[in-house]
Amino acid sequence: MSSKKLFEAAKIVSKKVLKVKKDERALIITNPKKDCLEISQALYEAFENAGAHPTLMIQPVKSSFDYMNFEVREAIASTPQVVCSISHERLGKDPICLKEPLLASDGKKYDNIFNFLLAEKKIRAVWSPGITKRIFIEAVPINYDKLKHKCNAIKDFINGASIIKVQTLKGTDFSFSIEGRKVRVDDGDFSEPGKGGNLPAGEIFISPVVGSSKGVLIIDGSISMEKTFLLKSPVKIEVENGYVKKVSGNSEAEILKRLIKKASTQPFKLFEKGVLTKEKALEYSKNAKHIGEFGLGLNDKAKIVGNVLEDEKVLGTIHIAIGSNYDEDAQALIHYDCVIKKPSVFIDEELIMKNGELII
């Protein structure tokens, strides 16, 4: 039996976020870690309480470079209506789709069965890499109607825009094109097939046009790598033509450089094993330095604590991700989120956030 606070938060996920219905199949995938297991158990009980048929699967902890268990992949492929990934690190790569990507009806190729089924509107889902009980209890039970209103207002403002620019008093001066890109919202409404996002929810995000981002990023919040690093001193990232050109700073900067290098070389090892074609290996290697995401945090209960799952949702922050994007035209083995505090954000030169304060 889960604790009362966990179960109450899980009931909100079941009733408000996913709107789980009687007789639906719900798959929960987790790891043998205390917090993940207890959260998953609470979700299992909440789904069962809603009259659904939940299944709980436990696999070893997976990093950005590991494969999901075969049995987990098969369970996802069985298309349960609801899929929840409550992971200590990651869900894991899909070795089958890495080798032979699935072509979706939107013309895009997907290297993971989970993303493919979501794109095809076969499932609805939540994923929470690095979730803890504290985060689940404090940042999941929020006013979702208020969050959705805030997300939609900013989405409407960004739709049809061409350029986003970010500046901070610490020296960030960064811009990129969003022409033709889809604005995505993590508003906590994952009640229909094809909808999904993080728990805790609370961000609006978009993939920069490949090759368009440029400038300087001063990362002063946190960076997610093999784990999340709460930064004691800033990391400077210089970007040209959409790709990281230079990383400088203290120990965290050195770790980031090492892991980007690993993500650049690992695809060729997968090519040697027959998992990736040479063409794909070259693409994945190049995109280890790619700027794949811009996100704006909107969860007023979230705090910067050194866990990027929560950090990137903090109201008054933005985050930039290094690696794969959400438009599936720049695939990589990594997706490292970098959180920046108190930004000023301009949409086509119009200010929407000033030093971390929303002004629209």
Mean pLDDT across 329-337: 96
pLDDT at residue 218 tops 60: yes
What amino acid is encoded at 116 in this protein? F
The answer to whether the pTM exceeds 0.85 is yes
Mean pLDDT across 120-124: 98
Strand pairing report for 243-248 and 235-240: antiparallel
Note the maximum CA span of the chain. 54
The pLDDT confidence band at residue 264, using thresholds 50, 70 and 90, is very high
Looking at the structure, tell me whether residues 117 and 150 fall in a common domain.
no
The pLDDT confidence band at residue 360, using thresholds 50, 70 and 90, is confident
pLDDT at residue 215 tops 80: yes
Residue with tokens 């207002």: 153
* Tens-place pLDDT, residues 37-74: 999 999 999 999 999 999 999 999 999 899 999 999 99
pLDDT at 6: 97
The pLDDT confidence band at residue 95, using thresholds 50, 70 and 90, is very high
Structure-block tokens of residue 148: 């959705």
Write down which residue in 110, 135, 160 finishes a domain.
Answer: 135
Q: Which sign does the torsion angle of CA 98, 106, 118, 333 carry?
A: positive
Looking at the structure, tell me whether residues 94 and 146 fall in a common domain.
no
Within a 10 A sphere around the Cβ of 255, how many other Cβ atoms? 18
Q: What CATH number has the domain bearing residue 94?
A: 3.40.50
Number of domains within the chain: 2
Q: With H, G, I as helix, E, B as strand and everything else as coil, classify residue 6.
A: helix
Tell me which DSSP letter residue 198 carries.
E
What range does the domain containing 100 cover? 4-135
Looking at the structure, tell me whether residues 264 and 207 fall in a common domain.
yes
Looking at the structure, tell me whether residues 50 and 96 fall in a common domain.
yes
pLDDT at residue 2 tops 70: no
pLDDT at residue 34 tops 90: yes
Q: Give dist(CA 276, CA 280) in Å, integer.
A: 6
Q: Which sign does the torsion angle of CA 315, 319, 324, 325 carry?
A: positive
* Tens-place pLDDT, residues 139-181: 999 999 999 999 999 999 999 999 999 999 999 999 999 999 9
Write down which residue in 85, 111, 135 finishes a domain.
Answer: 135
Per DSSP, the chain holds a count of helices (H) and strands (E) of 10, 22
Looking at the structure, tell me whether residues 99 and 153 fall in a common domain.
no
Phi, then psi, of 295 in degrees rounded to 5: -135, 150
pLDDT at residue 24 tops 90: yes
Q: Please provide the DSSP assignment of 16-51 as one string.
A: IIS---TT-EEEEEE-S-HHHHHHHHHHHHHHHHTT
CA angle, residues 279, 283, 289, in degrees to nearest 5? 160
Omega into 80 within 30° of 0, i.e. cis? no
Q: Which of 220, 226, 219 is nearest to 334 (CA)?
A: 226
Looking at the structure, tell me whether residues 12 and 110 fall in a common domain.
yes
Those residues whose C-beta lies under 8 Å from the C-beta of residue 100, and which sit 6 or more positions away, are: none
Q: With H, G, I as helix, E, B as strand and everything else as coil, classify residue 68.
A: coil
Write down which residue in 135, 160, 175 finishes a domain.
Answer: 135
The per-residue pLDDT of the chain, averaged, comes to: 97
Looking at the structure, tell me whether residues 109 and 89 fall in a common domain.
yes
